[in-house]
Structures are given as structure tokens and as C-alpha cells.
Amino acid sequence: MDHNELRCFLVLAEELHFGRTAARLRLSRARVSQLVQRLERRVGAALFTRTSRRVELTGLGSRLRDELEPHHRGIEDALARAAASARAAEAVLHVGFSTPLAGELVMGVTERLRVTRPGLTVEVCEVPLADPFGMLRSGDFDLQLADFPVREGDLLHGPTLLTEGRVLAVPAGHRLAGRPAVTSEDLAGVALLTIEGEVPEYWRRHHLPTRTPGGRPIGRGPAVTGLQEALTLVAGGRGALLTAAHIARYYGRPGVAYVPVEEDEPLRYRVTWRPGGPDGAVRLFGSLAREVARDRTASSPSPGAARPV
């Protein structure tokens, strides 16, 4: 059944005037007549009586109108609801997270947004280790929750949400594996895994230092592009990894020992975004992120555990 025929029939049944029906439907009078005649041929009988002065429904036309109208109205309402849902779904916030801890915080914010802004959809994706700002700059992310330092002049960031210490991941049989803690000076002679990709030099120096604070050289291991690859190489004795303290809780595995790093500058987590994005949604996300961070309780009593700010 042609939807245009049914709609034209119902409007004409209400207006009982070809000119007004044509105006409402934004059709010509000839097109209205054509649609009505086509429906009458489909039914096999006249639905209207037409004179030079008036248009009236036949008995069959009246019955058809009464039976069709509630169904047609239901279809129109369903289409309107679908269109409204589609418009609401267009409000999508793409959020990146740099570490499992950041991802946990992002999901906490997402749960709150489902209550406070049910029309805002949040799509979550991990920030590539080998390209920490590329997806944000390209527009794949509207914002990201990342560990600092971030010194990108074209990006904005909010206040610190969480801080945590770092650990050194070493092979289980490594000379440092049995220690309760190490210092940055103990990194001398350790071959740290490197990161392959578009990584700013200041970021590389912080996460992959080449010298200890006292100036002693730190060795270099193979280059990696992701955390799982890095931990696999650590377990295989190919190098060590300087990483966030929570990784020890999220990725405990045979062959890898995690040793806290003392007297180290803590990692700081902040929301970062590019100017010109969806500012209202970004501000709301940042506000809720601060609430979620404050509501967090330490999941580990260790000194390097993440702490709300």
C-alpha cells in the first residue's frame, strides 16, 4: 500500500476540499485527484462523491477512514519517536583513556551521564600508546583522560583528578625483582623498553628516561607499541618497563615482578581536549570526572596507589 495514497485520503477525508488538501500536502490539485483515484481503483469502489460545490465521503469511505486513522496516527507517532531518538543519538561524545585506571574513571563518568544526560551517548576508546595525541587532534576523540605531563600548546586541560606513583616491571628473576622498592638511581644499567611512534620528546624523557637524576646512563631495550607487547617482552627477559603503579594490580602475570619506584615524580591524570570541540559536553564530563575522582576510595593500601586530588 502506498503511504502517499493513504495520507492523501485521510487529509481529504478531513478537509473535504481538494484545494485545502493540496495546500496541506504541498501538492497540486491534479496530484491529489490522481492519488485518490488510484486508491479507489485499488479498493474497487468510490470513496468520495464529488460535485461542483462539495466533496463528501461515501459510506465505504467513512468506514475506511475510521479504520485507517488510528493505525496511520500510530505509524506517524512511531516515526516521530524514531526521529527524536535519532536526533538525541547524534549527541555523541568520543572519549579516550590512556591507562586502565583512566578507563575506570571514564566509565564511572559514563554511568553518571546515563542518569544526568540520557540523550548524550559516550563512546570510549583507548589512546594508542605510540600516538598519545593524534586521535584527539584528528577529531576521533572529543577529549581524553590521560596521564601527564602534557605540554601541547594547541590542547587544553583541566585540573588534576588523580595522582599515583610508578613501578618498575622487571623479569621475575631480575636482580631488582626481590626489592621492596627502587629509586630512580637504580635504573642505571636497566634496559628500559622504548615506545615506537609519534611520541613527544618531553613525554618520552619522562616515561623513558635515558639518564638517572645523578647522570648515570639508563639502557635501551626493544621498541613496543602497546602495553601487552611490553609486558610480554618483560616476561621474556628482553627489558624492563617503567609504568603506572596500578598496572601491578591490573596486570599481575607470571614472569613479571613489579617494584615500586620511590622518590619519583607522581603521574597526574587530567582531562585534555582540543579547542572548538563540544564545549558544553566537555565541561560536563570534566565536572563529573572531578566528582567521580573525589568519590573514589583507594583500592590498594600500597604507597603508589592512585589518590583523588
**From its phi and psi, is residue 96 left (phi > 0), alpha (psi between -120 and 50) or beta?**
beta
In angstroms, the CA 154 to CA 1 distance is: 57
Calculate mean pLDDT across residues 165-180: 92
3-class state of residue 258 by DSSP: strand
pLDDT at 8 (0 to 100): 93
Pick from 157, 164, 168: nearest CA to 265:
164
pLDDT in tens, 209-249: 888 888 999 999 998 888 889 999 999 999 999 999 999 99
pLDDT at 26 (0 to 100): 84
Residue predicted with more confidence, 116 or 79: 116
Note the Cα 277 to chain centre separation in Å: 14
**From its phi and psi, is residue 215 left (phi > 0), alpha (psi between -120 and 50) or beta?**
left
Residue predicted with more confidence, 182 or 82: 182
Q: Which three cell numbers stand for residue 55?
A: 466533496
**From its phi and psi, is residue 263 left (phi > 0), alpha (psi between -120 and 50) or beta?**
left
The yes-or-no verdict on residue 2 having pLDDT over 50 is yes
% of residues, the chain, pLDDT over 70:
91
The yes-or-no verdict on residue 119 having pLDDT over 90 is no
Confidence of residue 306 (pLDDT cuts 50, 70, 90): low
